[in-house]
Structure 1
Amino acid sequence: MLTGKQKRFLRAEAHHLDPIFQVGKGGVNDNMIKQIGEALEARELMKVSILQNCDEDKQEVAQSIAKGAKAEIVQIIGNIIILYKESRENKQLVLPK
């Protein structure tokens, strides 16, 4: 579980990132969750964009992605979800205590 200080740090780090994945009309599927998990292992921090034609609620989308990829939701702002997962092999970010 992330603390407020850690979330603030991660939000600042994610500010300059562009969304890598988009959730559209099809919603979230197993293949997308697998790819997001692999991308998080490589990057640790990423943005996911929710398109206008997505039928699901953005909170539900964020929860299902985070649960499937075993990641933490840093923030949901507008139609962007910021996710964090500590990498096992290529650790890049050092979180404040």
Structure 2
Amino acid sequence: MNLTTKQKQYLKGLAHSLKPVVLLGANGLTEGVLAEIDNALAYHELIKVKVAAEDRELKHAIVDAITRETQSEKVQVIGHVLVLYRQSEEKKIALPKAK
């Protein structure tokens, strides 16, 4: 699922008040962290993940790995905080229609 610009703007507005639900620590991206992100996406659809990587290239690699492994969409990255969206079966968030 590719999000349109309008849909991303809508999700950014919804994510503004959210706190990160998953924090990547010193161990980096592990299977346990991926499972936790997957569970959070299944429950919430829209989550924030804090990626504590100092190196910009490493941070981009981690973000790409997370989106690929969880089959989610990257909505936004600000600093060390990543906003992810993955539609669940219940479709809790009603996105604006894609044109």
TM-score (normalised: structure 1) = 0.90
Structure 1 runs (4+) deviating above 3 angstroms are 52-56
Structure 2: segments with no counterpart, 5+ residues: none
Q: Deviations over 1:60-94 (max 9, x none)?
A: 11111111111100011111000000011x32101
Corresponding residue of 2:27: 26
Question: Structure 1 residues 52 and 61 mapped into 2: Cα distance closer, same or farther (>3 Å)?
Answer: closer
Does the 8 Å contact 1:26/1:54 carry over to 2? no
Name the % identity: 35
Aligned-pair CA distance for 1:8: 0.4
* Matched pairs, number: 96
TM-score, normalized by length of structure 2? 0.88
| Alignment partner, residue 83 of structure 1 | 84
Deviations 1:8-66 (A, max 9, x none): 00000000000011112211011211111111010000000122568972211111111
RMSD, aligned α-carbons: 1.8
State the partner residue of 1:5: 6
Residue in 2 that maps onto 1:60: 61
